[in-house]
Amino acid sequence: MRRLLFLSITLFIAGCAAPMPVPPADPEATWQSRQQDLSKVNDWRLNGRLAITRGSEAWHLKLNWRQKPEGYEIFLSGPFGAGVKLVGNPQSVVLHDAEHHAYYAREPELLLYAHTGVLMPVTGLRYWILGLPDPGKNHTNQTHLDAYGRLAELQQRDWTVRFRDYVAVKQYQLPERLFIESEDIEVRLVVDNWQVFL
């Protein structure tokens, strides 16, 4: 009787556990299909944490990123007190600081660095966050896939991006932790919350 009860409990627990995904027979074909699906995802929000190191300097930031088809809003808080906000599109970007000043530029990386000292690959990150290469012109890519046809590592421009974990968000598998490196710069992103708006 005791053995039968133990077996019943074991089977019940096994039935409640989430099934392990089965790797596809052709990860490369799955990757091609994933790219097509993810390239259509242009309305999303994430909250996360950034750790950025450059030589002896280090920053720990909170990140709120709202991406829409027409552009993005990125709010960074941490050593800036009330934080800074980048509002941009492919043509231009404006940085709003805690004193309500506005600064304009064409490249978000240079604008952010000039006013905060933080160097972060904003343009590439908009795509890497989704588990995609940056589709910008003249970008050569070296990609390594995992068994499920997802990016495990990407080398693009001067950056190496390692995708540590993925999480299910609606019908998508999206990165949950990214390690990004270039020369003496290291960016680690942990996503605490994903939202995709269909």
Q: CA 125: distance to chain centroid?
A: 6
Q: What is the length of the chain?
A: 198
- Residue 76: both structure tokens together: 């960074």
User: Residue 13 pLDDT more than 50?
Assistant: no
Q: How many domains does the chain have?
A: 1
Most confidently predicted of 5-9, 128-132, 154-158? 128-132
Higher pLDDT pick, 136 / 152: 152
Distance CA 134, CA 182 (A): 16
Predicted local distance difference test score (pLDDT) of residue 4? 45
The tens digit of pLDDT for each residue in 64-111 reads 999 999 999 999 998 766 799 999 998 999 999 988 899 999 999 999
Domain span at residue 127? 25-193
151/127 Cα distance (integer angstroms): 12
Residue 94 forms part of a structural domain? yes
CATH number assigned to the domain comprising residue 50: 2.50.20.10
Query: Bridge partners of 68?
Result: 71
Instruction: Read off the pLDDT of each residue in 1-18 and give the average, rounded to a whole number.
Output: 45
